[in-house]
């Protein structure tokens, strides 16, 4: 999931000025509410040239409304201070939501030029709010007197959140420190832009061309067909091109018999954006230096200390302690997995030691040997259409919602599908949901959830429902086959939809408390627990149908899938926990004499990373922590949240995975509540106890 600091609180939204004469002939669609059902953006009318004028108009609106709050002589209260902050600039909020979506999903070269101009404007506007001393003084006065200004518990919590957010962003700093913070934030934001540009360009530039069909042995027909289409698009008709996008990279690593081809793809990926024209190493060095400076300005010893102080973990040491509790048994299990692979290699005449580019491939061989199972057996049952049917069916059973396609709704690309999410009993509108699932050159790697419109109270007193979307980079259809998802892609579909559910089902009354606006180390709980339904036998028997015959997946395959579900968990957990430990180590770096390659090796040696496994993300393509601040010193939250979801899942298993009472409690206490109460209180109210870290070890098969 992605979060932009810009939307962390609605008050920190910003955007700017008057229309240029060249655009006076047409009305800028970003300047007023969209005249569509549920106010879905009118994409067909939005032109790239609209963004800068709308951003400038929004900033003017923001500045004007902010001054109205500051000049109000009445005693600060919720209605005259917090509510106006929640809707500081409707124009800016509207323009920025589309802008940031395009930045990730439609980042064409033409858009990139717009972004270069827009980002500094947005940053400057955000600084004018976040560091405004008179505004902060009103918030502080309200915060200090929150028990006697007539507020209910949720309103008090929102006041506390605003106070904490402004303080964390430097509002209480002296003027010289504020100026230093502005400089640092501006420089870092430009580096984020450069990092993401380099990563996108490096990913699109790299491919391995295969000219001999014999070298494709082991690959599925759909993977080969996709590679042929890729080669043709690059001017190599009759050959096969493999890229670093997951639908191309992962099948090669897991299925290609040609070890040299696997090596080329693996080394291409693990050296991505590490040299040449798109080298991110100098960018990272500057980011680390600036983050260390920022932490000092904010009164912290290091960046990791600053970031963890804001969430459930509270300290980097607490996060590291949890990670090591999981990492050590994971490494032990990974050693057993490598031994099994090496035994397979030796038994089959291989005269080599398992290398990192062998891991996926021989893991599949061992899985097939142990469980008489490989992914190619189930993939025909996982067409994207079928998976979505299962996804939506589970949501209806659990939460009482129905997805109704809106074929005539506005969309920014033909690949996008738009749904009206309604109450399955009453037909009441709950949310708009959009999907965009296939790779393209203008889209960043990975998968995420974001929203174009938040739920909550708006400036006209209207309570609006959210507009949420999921973006992915899944295996695309070919001329002969529909999109057939891998096991990992099925899991990812359910994961991101879990985020979407939290965004769509929210009943929090204010935008800054709604949906996924919760602590970073709590936000992954809803997404990760939703993964469990993907391969639940009860649901598989409903949605997993063979794309050619329509046959329901047989119990024999379900049993194999279930039996093998804990297979290779040593590898999966080691690479994830390793990346989280690397992230925290970067956050604790003092910013001096940064050597990215040497530092990565130092951390790998220190924690005992197995030679056959690398970090899930090497630093030059670790966009979670260097593409923005979203998960910086916070990548550990995936495992932190997995403790919560593993514990919660055990309750579903105990009562039945579609048990109405358990689902209703989860919906009320977790999905709908947002940040209206402390996350630990909400979790304990659902689970009946504090989180049990051993639940995760049991789930992974380590205990």
The pLDDT value recorded for residue 12 is 33
Reported residue count of the chain is: 703
Query: 518 and 389: one domain?
Result: yes
For every residue of 403-437, DSSP letters joined together read EEE-TTS--SSTT-EEEEEEETTT--EEEEEEEE-
Tokens (6 digits) for 639: 């495992």
Of 635, 657, 672, the position where a domain reaches its end is 635
CB 191 within 8 A of CB 283: yes
Query: 282 and 214: one domain?
Result: no
C-alpha pair distances (Å), 122 with each of 23, 57, 62, 76, 294: 21, 12, 11, 27, 19
State mean pLDDT over 267-287. 96
Which of 236-245, 399-408, 653-662, 689-698 shows the lowest mean pLDDT across its residues? 689-698
Mean pLDDT of all residues belonging to the chain: 93
> Phi and psi for 107 in degrees, rounded to 5?
-85, 70
Q: Which residues pair with 435 in a beta bridge?
A: 417, 470
Set 496, 524, 531, 612: catalytic member = 496
C-alpha pair distances (Å), 679 with each of 128, 304, 519: 30, 21, 8
Query: 220 and 299: one domain?
Result: no
Query: 536 and 388: one domain?
Result: yes
Q: Strands across the sheet with 448-453, in order?
A: 401-405, 417-423, 429-436, 467-471, 448-453
Query: 436 and 517: one domain?
Result: yes
- Residue in this structure with the two tokens 């940053």, named with its chain if needed: 123
The pLDDT value recorded for residue 7 is 38
193 within domain boundaries: no
User: How far is Cα 625 from Cα 105, in angstroms, rounded to an integer?
Assistant: 18
- Give first-to-last CA distance, the chain, whole Å: 29
Tokens (6 digits) for 43: 């994409």
Query: 558 and 576: one domain?
Result: no
CATH of the domain at 291: 1.10.1370.10
312 pLDDT higher than 90: no
Tokens (6 digits) for 530: 């939703």
The pLDDT value recorded for residue 671 is 97
User: How far is Cα 311 from Cα 307, in angstroms, rounded to an integer?
Assistant: 8
Based on the structure, what is the number of domains in the chain?
A: 4
386 within domain boundaries: yes
172 pLDDT band (50/70/90 cuts)? confident
Tokens (6 digits) for 380: 């025909």
Indicate the pTM of the whole model. 0.85
Q: Over pLDDT 70: what percentage of the chain?
A: 96
Higher pLDDT, 584 or 699: 584
654: annotated active-site residue: no
- DSSP classification of residue 446: S
Query: 66 and 140: one domain?
Result: yes
- Does the CA dihedral 584-585-586-589 come out positive or negative? positive
17 pLDDT higher than 50: no
> Phi and psi for 446 in degrees, rounded to 5?
95, -170
Tokens (6 digits) for 117: 């101009």
Helix (H) or strand (E) holding 373: none
The pLDDT value recorded for residue 617 is 93
Q: For residue range 618-633, what is the model confidence (pLDDT) as tens digits?
A: 999 999 999 998 899 9
**C-alpha of 111 from chain center:** 22
Q: For residue range 387-401, what is the model confidence (pLDDT) as tens digits?
A: 999 999 999 999 999
Residue whose C-alpha is closest to residue 501's, from 476, 537, 526? 526
C-alpha pair distances (Å), 141 with each of 76, 78, 84, 137: 7, 11, 16, 6
Of 530, 547, 563, the position where a domain reaches its end is 563
Q: For residue range 356-392, what is the model confidence (pLDDT) as tens digits?
A: 999 999 999 999 999 999 888 999 999 999 999 999 9
Q: For residue range 467-484, what is the model confidence (pLDDT) as tens digits?
A: 999 999 999 998 889 999
The pLDDT value recorded for residue 375 is 87
CATH of the domain at 121: 1.10.1370.40
Q: For residue range 211-258, what is the model confidence (pLDDT) as tens digits?
A: 999 999 999 998 999 999 999 999 999 999 999 999 999 999 999 999
Tokens (6 digits) for 620: 């030059």
State mean pLDDT over 186-193. 94
55 within domain boundaries: yes
Higher pLDDT, 290 or 172: 290
Of 618, 635, 652, the position where a domain reaches its end is 635
- Residue in this structure with the two tokens 């003017």, named with its chain if needed: 60
> Phi and psi for 4 in degrees, rounded to 5?
-100, 135
State mean pLDDT over 287-314. 93
6 pLDDT higher than 60: no
Query: 86 and 156: one domain?
Result: yes
47 within domain boundaries: yes
The pLDDT value recorded for residue 1 is 63
List of residues 6+ apart from 528 with CB closer than 8 A: 495, 498, 638, 641, 642, 645
The pLDDT value recorded for residue 19 is 35
573 pLDDT higher than 70: yes
CB 475 within 8 A of CB 255: no
CA dihedral 651, 657, 658, 663 (to 10 degrees): 30
Q: Which residues pair with 618 in a beta bridge?
A: none
132 within domain boundaries: yes
101 within domain boundaries: yes
Query: 622 and 604: one domain?
Result: yes
696 within domain boundaries: no
User: How far is Cα 388 from Cα 403, in angstroms, rounded to an integer?
Assistant: 10
Q: For residue range 430-459, what is the model confidence (pLDDT) as tens digits?
A: 999 999 999 999 998 889 999 999 999 998
Q: Which residues of 51-68 are buried (b: 16+ CB within 10 A; e: fewer)?
A: bbbbbbbbbbbbbebbee
- Residue in this structure with the two tokens 């097939």, named with its chain if needed: 368
**What is the 3-class SS of 648-683, one letter each residue?**
HHHHHHHHCCCCHHHHHHHHHHHHCCCCCCCHHHHH
63 pLDDT higher than 60: yes
List of residues 6+ apart from 321 with CB closer than 8 A: none
276 pLDDT higher than 70: yes
Which of 45-49, 310-314, 652-656 shows the lowest mean pLDDT across its residues? 310-314
State mean pLDDT over 31-41. 97
The pLDDT value recorded for residue 479 is 86
Query: 486 and 550: one domain?
Result: yes
Angle, helices 109-130 vs 175-205, to 10°: value is: 160
Query: 146 and 224: one domain?
Result: no
Higher pLDDT, 654 or 15: 654
Query: 579 and 553: one domain?
Result: no
What's the domain range around 612?
A: 278-373+569-635
187 within domain boundaries: no
């Amino acid at each position: 999931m992605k979060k932009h600091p810009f939307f962390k609180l609605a008050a920190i939204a910003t955007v700017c000025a008057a229309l240029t004469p060249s655009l006076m002939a047409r009305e800028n669609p970003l300047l007023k509410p969209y005249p569509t059902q549920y106010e879905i953006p009118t994409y067909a009318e939005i032109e790239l040239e609209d963004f800068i004028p709308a951003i400038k108009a929004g900033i003017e609106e923001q500045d004007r409304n902010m001054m109205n709050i500051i000049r109000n002589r009445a005693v600060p209260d919720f209605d005259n201070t917090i509510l106006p902050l929640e809707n500081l600039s409707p124009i800016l909020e509207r323009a920025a939501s589309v802008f940031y979506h395009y930045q990730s999903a439609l980042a064409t070269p033409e858009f990139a030029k717009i972004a270069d101009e827009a980002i500094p404007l947005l940053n400057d506007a955000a600084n004018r709010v976040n560091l405004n001393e008179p505004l902060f003084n009103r918030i502080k006065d309200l915060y200090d007197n929150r028990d006697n200004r007539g507020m209910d518990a949720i309103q008090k919590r929102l006041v506390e959140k605003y106070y904490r957010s402004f303080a964390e962003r430097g509002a209480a700093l002296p003027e010289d420190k504020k100026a230093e913070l502005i400089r640092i934030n501006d420089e870092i934001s430009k580096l984020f832009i450069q990092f993401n540009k380099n990563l996108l360009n490096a990913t699109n530039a790299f491919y391995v061309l295969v000219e001999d069909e014999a070298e494709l042995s082991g690959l599925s027909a759909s993977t080969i067909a996709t590679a042929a289409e890729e080669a043709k698009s690059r001017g190599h008709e009759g050959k096969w091109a493999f890229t670093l996008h997951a639908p191309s990279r992962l099948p090669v690593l897991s299925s290609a018999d040609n070890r040299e081809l696997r090596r080329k793809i693996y080394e291409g990926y693990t050296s991505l954006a590490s040299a040449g024209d798109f080298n991110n190493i100098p960018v990272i060095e500057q980011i680390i230096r600036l983050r260390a400076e920022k932490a000092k300005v904010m009164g912290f010893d290091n960046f990791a200390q600053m970031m963890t102080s804001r969430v459930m973990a509270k300290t980097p040491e607490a996060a590291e302690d949890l990670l090591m509790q999981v990492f050590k048994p994971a490494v032990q299990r990974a050693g057993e997995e490598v031994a099994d692979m090496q035994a397979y290699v030796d038994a089959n005449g291989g005269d080599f030691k398992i290398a990192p580019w062998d891991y996926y491939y021989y893991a599949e061989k061992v899985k097939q040997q142990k469980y008489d199972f490989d992914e190619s057996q189930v993939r025909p049952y996982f067409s994207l259409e079928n998976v979505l049917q299962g996804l939506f069916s589970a949501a209806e059973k659990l939460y009482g919602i129905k997805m109704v396609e809106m074929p005539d709704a506005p969309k920014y690309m033909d690949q996008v599908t738009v749904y009206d999410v309604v109450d399955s009993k009453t037909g009441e509108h709950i949310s708009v949901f959009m999907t965009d699932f296939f790779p393209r050159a203008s889209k960043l790697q990975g998968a995420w959830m974001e929203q174009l419109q938040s739920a909550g109270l708006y400036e006209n007193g209207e309570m609006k429902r959210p507009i949420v979307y999921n973006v992915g980079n899944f295996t695309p259809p070919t001329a002969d086959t529909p999109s057939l998802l891998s096991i990992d892609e099925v899991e990812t579909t359910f994961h991101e939809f879990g985020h979407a559910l939290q965004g769509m089902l929210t009943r929090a009354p204010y935008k800054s408390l709604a949906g996924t606006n919760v602590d970073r180390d709590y936000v992954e709980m809803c997404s990760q627990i939703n993964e469990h339904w993907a391969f639940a036998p009860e649901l598989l028997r409903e949605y997993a149908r063979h794309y050619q015959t329509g046959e329901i997946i047989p119990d024999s395959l379900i049993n194999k899938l279930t039996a093998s579900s804990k297979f290779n968990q040593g590898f999966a957990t080691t690479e994830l926990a390793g990346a989280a430990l690397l992230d925290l180590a970067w956050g604790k770096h003092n910013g001096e004499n940064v050597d990215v390659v040497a530092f990565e090796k130092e951390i790998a040696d220190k924690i005992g990373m197995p030679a056959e496994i690398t970090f899930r993300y090497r630093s030059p393509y670790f966009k979670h922590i260097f593409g923005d601040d979203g998960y910086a010193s916070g990548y550990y939250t995936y495992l932190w949240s997995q403790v919560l979801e593993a514990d919660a899942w055990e309750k579903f298993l105990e009562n039945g995975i579609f048990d109405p009472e358990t689902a209703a409690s989860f919906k009320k206490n977790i999905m709908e509540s947002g940040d209206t109460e402390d996350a630990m209180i909400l979790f304990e109210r659902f689970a009946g106890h504090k989180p049990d870290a051993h639940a995760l070890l049991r789930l992974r098969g380590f205990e």
